[in-house]
Structure formats: C-alpha cells, structure tokens
Chain A
Amino acid sequence: MPRGYAGKLLEVDLSREKIWETTLEERILEAFFGGRGLAAKILWDRLGDIWPQVDPLGPENIFLALTGPLTGLYPGTRICCSGKSPLSNGVIGATASSEFASELKTAGYDGVIVSGRASSPIYLLVTEDGGEIRGADHLWGKTGEETIRILNREISEELERRRSNVGLYKEPGIIYIGPAGENRIRTAAVMTKICHAAGYGGYGAVMGSKNLKAIAVKGRGPLPEVEAPETVRILWREIHSNLISRERFRRWGTGYGGYSVGAETSSEPVLNWQSEWHDERGLGGPRFEVPYWAKRYWSDFNCTLNCMKLSCIKAGRWKGDITDAPDYEMQAYLGPNLGIFNAEDATHLSAVFDNLGLSGINSGNTMAFAAELYQRGILTKEDLGFELRWGDAEAFTKLALMISKREGIGDILAEGTYRAALKISELKGIDVTPYAVHVKGVEVGAHGTRSGRDMNPIGYAASVQGGDHTSSTRDGYDDMRWSVFNDSAVVCGFCSYDRLIWDFARAVTGWNITRHRWCTEHGPRIVTLQQVLLLLGGPDIYWNPEKDFDNPPRFYEPLPEGPYKGKSTDRAAVEMMKRNYYKVLGWDDRGIPKREMLERLGLEYLETTVSKLRKT
C-alpha cells in the first residue's frame, strides 16, 4: 500500500443505496496525489466522455471529499471537496480545515465519493466498519449550529450503544450543509465546525442536490504508516516550531488584513469593487478582538497557527451570534464591500452566512452586486420588497435569508453573481454583466489587481479555478508549488513551508517528489486536466477562452480614490503574462493544451477530446 494513504476510498451511490470500497493504483496516486488532483482525475475517468451534458446539480454529478497523503500528518489538516462545479462548470478543489479529515484517515479511508441522489434527505455515517446511509429528515432545514448539536449527540449515543463499555468516543468529524446547500444555492459552501467553509465552487449545492445533509466520520485507528517515520517526527516538530514563532499571525490571523489591506495596498473590495480604498479605521483586528473574540487561540487538528478566532456577540441586537474572527475575506466581503464599516455588523453577517451555509466570499459578492444594481436604480424596492442601501446590515441579513431560501429576488441571486447578471440583464433589458465581479463564474476573492500591490494581473484571469484567490496564477511554474500542491497533498497553505514540505512529502510517501518535479510535472498535469474540463464546461454555460479568461470589466476601470487613484489593471500586462503562462504550460494562445504537452504529462488519453476543442 502506498505510504501516507489509508489505502481505500468509500463509494456511495445514493440512487441505488449501494456502498462499496475502491482501491486506487499506486501509479494514479503518485501522478495525482490526492485532493484536488485526484478529484480531477476521478471526475475525468467517470464523467469525461459526457462532461458537457453533466448537470452539476443533477444526480449524474459526483461529490468528492478527499484527503491527501499529507493530511493529518503535516500540520494544518484540511479536507478537499470537489465535483463538477455549479459555478465554473469545471473542477475546483475547495478545502476547509476540519477534524473530518483526520477522522476519515483514522477510520481507514482517504476519501468519500458520492454519486446519485437520495430519494429523501440523508446523511452518511462512516466508521471503521464502513459507511451507512441514515435518515436526515430531522436535520433538513436546520442551521449549522443545530445540525452540529443534533449530530454530535445522536452519533455519540449511537456509537456508545453499538460498542458499550469501551469508554467515551470523541465526537465525529462532520461536514454538512445549511439551508443554502439544501436549496441548491450555487454559492453554498460545504461547512464544518460552525464557521469553516469549503467555499469556492458551490459544492454545498452539489451535496444539497443529492439530498446529502452531512457526512460524519469517526475513526479509532492510527494515522497511516509512512516511509520514514523518524524523519516525519523530526520535521513535524520543526514545522510546529516555525508555526509557533509567527506571533502576530497567531494572535490576529488574517483578520489584521482588514486594516492593512484596505489601508495600505488599496485592494479591498468596497461597494461591489467600485472602490478599493477607504479611510475608515474602525475595522482592524483589535476592534473585533476585544468585544467579540471568545477564544484568541483557536485551532484545528494538528495546527498551532490558530489563525481562526472564535467570536461571539454577547449583547445588543445580534446577541447570541457565534462565528469566527471574521477572517480577512469575511471582513471585506461582509464589511466594506456592503458599505459596512463596523465590527459588530460584519461579525453578525458572518454568523448569518455560517448558519445558512452560504460562502461568504461568493454569496457576499452576489449581495454587493445586487446592492449596486439597487444604487443604480436597476433593481428597485418593488423587485426586492425592501430597500437595499449600502451599510444596512438588517437589509443584507434579510437578503441572505431570501437567497438561501430562494425567495423572491433571492431565487435569481441564488444562481451566483454571473448567472444572476445574465438573468437580470434579460429581465431588465440592460446589460448588467459589467457589474458582475467574477472570473469564469467564480466570484473573486477580496484581493484586487488594480493597485498593483496585491493580486497580480493574471491571478484570476489565467486560473483554472477562476476567482478563487487561494489558487491564483502567476508564471506557470512557481504557482504550482502553492495551492496546486497544498490542495492535492491536502494541507493548509498557511502552514506550508517551501523545503520542509517537500522533505515531508518524500518522507511520507517515499516517492521522489521535488519542488521542480512538482512544478514541471505534477502541477501542470493537474492544472491541464482541470483546464480541459473547464473548457468542456456545459450544460448551461460554455466559456470562450478569448473573451472569458480575463479579469472582470471592473478591474479595468480606474480606481476612483486613494493612494492609487487612477490606476487600473494593465491590459497589455494581462495579455503578455497570460500568454507566458500558457506557454510555460504547453497550452496554445487560447489556453488549449497542445498534444506534445499532453503526451509529456502522461495525459495522452485527453488528446481525442482536446483535438475537438482546438477546432472550435
């Protein structure tokens, strides 16, 4: 058995109510690793021939929750969720920190693959004895908090009943969806631990489309064996020492960015990206810390970086809200981008999104898009049922609920920013797509390209994961060692150290993994496969690489204020960098992989499909 792996995947066909185990060949694992890479490979193998016809929200789609060979062992444990994305129509690897991942491995599984659709709401319970389908009628419609509370109790009692007298079991690891996922909101996240989200891609909607409320797993075994245990032990200590030395990040997490990004790099979204600068100084880390943080040092399994902070609003109109810090992305998207400049409202909206299971970046982006249309008089009080003014936290709370329940205008906004823009353009007879800040259907992260101080010009435009800021592209070489590796080894990017992580990967797997090999073979192989599936797209949207593989129109408008007033994204730089990126990867000028490259990467089986793409 390959080292670092539990050795098998749990397969569930919800339509036929069948559960079985699959073992993958070592050469497949060595080539695609796990997580994002393996997801792309599994999806190609099973759905590649019919990809354009696969409805991401139909029973024919596959939902994957995969670990990688480093998961659990390397500090910073995450789970990677994937499938055909209802936003990009390609494949996105969306990760979230969770004990779900370590529990899965100790239960003897590297991942769960779910196909089909259950006839009524269900959840999966996975233990060392296998998986089982359990009814979830009592969980359907429940918020994140309620779902966790019920499942923790129910499963602990059930396991106690089955094997009484062995002592207490720790709680299971759980991934779940909120009402947003149930109602197939395309920007719904796969949630875990109240406020951790695998947000990009819309996989909460994929789970919902399968009537799959949650997957809970409890393992009792050790983490998998590795090739060189002593080396792993030494590196494990060294990596933790490094993490522990990062005092500022440990103390404030990414939440410090709300102040420094907005104030220094002028790249934080403000009023649906109409600006990326604000003078408000009330949104810094300390403004959240003192009144709301319940735990300053809050971690996940095998992580000492604790960038997430546990928050609770204890008084006032939002009393009882529990969420995380919020982190920088949530601060930005549920703060300045909605015209909200106070910590209390931003924290409240973060809790609302968590409980509904909406992805903060993606659905937050859609809400700001709607607010801009309201500002411009394109959407009116009659369309919405209420006024949607910038900065009105109560109105945005209402809108979030409407989106998650597909009520009124919420039904259109539930389709994500790009699809909503297409629908509203049609309804209103005005082209509103210039206000949709997305790339390839994926709402962009809270890092602008215009000031030149934050995201590089092709960070989103060339990425196979579109607006996903965690997977930004740059030169086609160095960017491979970042998210493409982390999301396939399935570890947290914040804990990833160049050198140490390659030594760790070799010590775990015994394979000859080097940074150079990853950047020239593994990374390009995974990204090329993702690119092909993205280009295939369908069934509702097909991307035109010449037109769509670009920044949102807004990123070419000049910044209206701040230290970088007048600056916009340099179109010539985008074109040049994009061509260079494609060239490094062996893709043609439109981003379609060339035959020689497919052969070099061991992807010759894609040639028939890709040759057709070249002719279109």
Chain B
Amino acid sequence: MKEPIWIFRDFLKCSGCRRCELACSLNHEGWFWPEASRVRVFMPFPGLEVPHLCAQCDDYPCVKSCPVEALRVDETTAVLVDRDKCIGCGRCIEACPGKVPFLYPKDGKATICDLCGGDPQCVKVCNEAGYLALQLVREGQNVNRKLFSREPIEVAKEIALNLFGEKGTEVI
C-alpha cells in the first residue's frame, strides 16, 4: 500500500554533484540523461545550485490546467503523466508556479517527478553521499509544499544572500 511522501529540500546543502539527475535518469530512462531527469540542478551562478523538482502543490494547478486530462495524482501525492493523452501543449508548465515540468527532449511530452512510486532514487544517492539536500519525509499533503514551487533563479537569489552576504545581491 503506497503512502503519501514528500521530498524535503535544503538548498544550502546541495553540492551540485548532479548525481540526483543521473540516478533519476538511470531509473526512468535506463541511462545517464541529465536534461531528461525529473530533478534538475540549476546553477544561475556557480555555488548557487538549485535542485529543481516538483513540490506537489496541494491545489495541483498543473493537473487543473491540462486540457486533455493527461495528469492525475497518485497515492504518494505525485503527479503522473499519461503520455498517450499528453499533447505537449505546455499548459502545465505555464500553470506551475515554479515552471517545474518540461517537455521531454525526445517526443515533447510533459515530464514531471513521479516520486519513483514512493521510493525516490534522487534522495537515495543524495543521502548516501551525506549531503541531505534532498530528504524523504512521510507526510500528507499540506499547504507548505507550494512554497517550494519556485523558479530556480528566485531561489538562487536567496541562496546568494546566505552564502555571499551583501555581495549576493550582485551575482544574478
């Protein structure tokens, strides 16, 4: 029986090793494919690494925006894409407050983190390396999640303040 989970993210702890991207693409694509990974580490400025992945907003604007009902929510709270139904219109990207979904590089279908069916591979490799930038929490849907659905550049601006102090206002 699957239960609701969430991937907690601590941006200040991300090393930028991008092994989450490699583990994710190994799991979903069978091979190393950074831009097909459902978690992608953005870097608007070196040192400001932002793991960018679906935050499972409690109101799921992406699901609501889909004109062909290709998106649905599973028991883990993940958004699943029905690739047969998806027409690659990009509405889900526009609806997402963090512009998290992207169109798959090969066939242009919407691509979103599926929480690996309850066993996220990105979390495993991040924890294995001791970074704990991504951590698995077993908690139900709540309003806080949406706070994490933000564009990488906005997150990076805040990381910059933490890491660089006043200088942080100049780098992005």
Contacts and interface: CB of A to CB of B under 8 A. Distances in A.
Interface of A: 72-73, 99, 102, 106, 145, 148-149, 152, 165-168, 170-171, 193-195, 219-223, 225, 229, 233, 236, 240-241, 244, 294-295, 297-304, 306, 310, 312, 314, 319-320, 322
A157 to B, nearest CB: 11
A221 B35 contact: yes
Contact of A221 (B40, B41, B105): B105
Contacts of B129: 240, 244, 304
B84 interface: no
B18 to A, nearest CB: 5
Contacts, number: 136
5 contacts: A168-B52, A170-B42, A171-B44, A298-B47, A302-B19
Contacts of B16: 298-301
A310 B47 contact: yes
B102 A168 contact: yes
A145 B171 contact: yes
A222 B47 contact: no
Interface string B30-46: 11111110001111111
A140 B72 CA distance: 50
A108 to B, nearest CB: 12
Interface stretch (B1-9, B74-82, B137-145, B162-170): B162-170
Nearest to A294: B163
A233 B27 CA distance: 11
Contacts of B167: 312, 314, 319-320, 322
- Smallest CB-CB A-B distances: 4 pairs: A167-B102, A222-B33, A165-B90, A299-B17
Contacts of A170: 34-35, 40-43
B66 to A, nearest CB: 14
Nearest to A304: B129
B95 to A, nearest CB: 12
A100 B32 CA distance: 16
Given A170-B43, A302-B22, A295 B102 contact: no
A318 to B, nearest CB: 11
B166 A319 contact: yes
A6 to B, nearest CB: 13
Interface of B: 12-13, 15-19, 22, 25-26, 29-36, 40-47, 52, 89-90, 93-94, 99, 101-103, 105, 108, 125, 128-131, 151-152, 163-167, 170-172
A441 B105 CA distance: 47
Majority SS at the chain A contact face: loop
Contacts of B94: 165
Contacts of B152: 168
B32, B93, B170 pick with most chain A CB within 10 angstroms: B32
A145 B48 CA distance: 13
B31 A194 contact: no
A613 B35 CA distance: 51
Given A167-B101, A233-B26, A300-B16, A223 B31 contact: yes
Contacts of A302: 17-19, 22
A396 B11 CA distance: 36
Nearest to A313: B167
Contacts of A298: 15-16, 47
Given A302-B22, A322-B167, A295 B47 contact: yes
Given A149-B172, A222-B32, A319-B166, A167 B46 contact: no
Contacts of A299: 15-18
A128 to B, nearest CB: 9
B19 A152 contact: no
B163 A310 contact: yes
A299 B163 CA distance: 16
A477 to B, nearest CB: 33
A102 B16 CA distance: 13
A193 B151 CA distance: 21
Contact of A166 (B22, B43, B47, B90): B90
A301 B17 contact: yes
A219 B35 contact: yes
Given A149-B171, A221-B33, A222-B29, A303 B17 contact: yes
